[in-house]
Amino acid sequence: MNRFLNKGMVATLQRRMASQLLINDSKYAFLKELGIKENNAGVFHGKWAANGQTVQSFAPANNSPIANVQNGNVKDYEIAITEARKAYNDWCEVPAPRRGEIVRQIGDKLRTQLQNLGKLVSLEMGKISAEGVGEVQEYVDICDYATGLSRSLEGKIFPSERPGHALLEQWNPLGVVGVISAFNFPCAVYGWNNALALVTGNSVVWKPAPSTPLTAIAVTKLVEKVLVANNVNPALCSLVCGEGDVGQALVKDKRVNLVSFTGSSEIGKIVGQQVQARFGKLLLELGGNNAIIVNEDADLNMVVPATVFAAVGTAGQRCTTTRRLIIHDKVYDQVVERLKKAYAQFESRIGCPLDSNTIIGPLHNQQAVGKYKASIAEAIASGGKIEYGGKVLEREGNYVLPTIVTGLKHDDPVVLRETFAPILYVLKFSNLEEAIAINNEVDQGLSSSLFTTNIQNVFKWMGPKGSDCGIVNVNIPTSGAEIGGAFGGEKETGGGRESGSDSWRQYMRRSTCTINYSKELPLAQGIKFE
């Protein structure tokens, strides 16, 4: 038998492989409407070109390949950062309101493909369709927010102690913002960063998660159209899909003025050390081992749906997912029983994220399924009781049952460790001070919530001896943050803030300016040279 295939056999094999790609299934026609092809360049720096290895993006619902992507390599990254800096040199001098107008148009362009892009997020990441569309809507919303911000970026004017002097702050762009995003929010995290970075006068280089390149390519194609239509250098929003070598090049590069990294605390710690070693600026959005506290006076009709939403949504793969439920011992049994009934109602609605009936989609990959199984086994070995779930579903794809575990101590290692899966550890407390201590004992400090009807408890929870998290909620879940507030957390969550409030300041540098408009020269500390 010949060692080599003839041209006809190669062509037949290629056609067979292409037919297995989901992009060639009419069910997924929306992919081509987004500009996705069988073979896609994963690098954009004003033009689409890539020189790295070709990989496939897979659908977590069935582990089938969606399409091929040629990744970028370090050489491609070098081109992208060079072109992004060139684009910055022009963009930083564009008046902020004009920059806001471009960002507004990006939001409008996203609106035209809201449903299609939402479906792609669902297909490639695995979250249900409503969540996929909702994620794209977050990008649209932050574009609206940034448009308004472009006319209200402010600096302060202070009273000067010197006659004939003005003392004020001036804010200027940083330069290039490098965005490394995670698989669980493949569109929104980039959007939060991109809209604010652009309106504050920066260019952006995006390195998306290796497993969600198609979403990044589709988003970048839409942004490219807006930039080109406005005669803006499209390298302003560059993209380099790739593996760790690309991420390392970006993180260590002094030409990248701010690195915005979303991912695990373990990798974030490495990124933080490397960026700090070159005195770069950091924006870290890392892990979260989030808790809901249910006080004895809580409205349980609010507690149960809030907990289910926050613990089960996105199959437990949000950084704000509720992983610990801390219940007052007087209502503990009642809440657990109601939760078990609520969970059981959803079992028949676990399935393909693109189906309208689906409430719970798959985990992102088989590695996540493995971590789910390992955490369940560790919980049982530590004395935990599986009240509901605890099983992998035997079907194609990466499906597991959402799980409720009781009987563990609040400081068991498996409870203190974040597992990116729908596992809820249920704990008891007898007074609010104890519950707050349990909430605060984990390494992360992202999101937290207290359910109570006592106003004194509310302000204790929000105060200096309350939750140590960046997000401190009352009578709502730990997930579902609004864009108007700053999003981020404390401790091993990283300390970064994205989206609303004054998060824009992280994308700019501040200068304190003293202007002498008099004919005199008063020196500091009353010193005089005669």
Q: How far apart are CA 168 and CA 159, in angstroms?
A: 9
Q: Are 353 and 388 in contact, with CB atoms under 8 Å apart?
A: no
Task: Determine which one of 135, 224, 285, 492 is catalytic.
Answer: 285
Residue with tokens 């507004």: 104
Residue 196 to residues 189, 192, 251, 450, Cα–Cα distance (Å):
11, 7, 20, 31
| Separation of alpha carbons 412 and 419, rounded Å | 13
Residues contacting 87, CB < 8 A, separation 6+: 46, 203, 232, 233, 234, 235, 236, 238
201 φ/ψ sector (left φ>0, alpha ψ -120 to 50, else beta): left
Nearest to 298 by CA among 449, 182, 437, 446: 449
Distance (Å, rounded) from C-alpha 236 to C-alpha 225? 12
Q: In Å, how far from its chain's centre is CA 250?
A: 18
DSSP bridge pairs for 388 = 404
Reading the block at residue 129, the tokens are 């369709």
How far is 290 from 272, CA to CA, in rounded Å? 22
| Helix runs in 397-505, H state only | 413-416, 432-440, 455-462
| 352 SS3 class | coil
Tell me if residue 83 is catalytic.
no
| Catalytic annotation, residues | 285
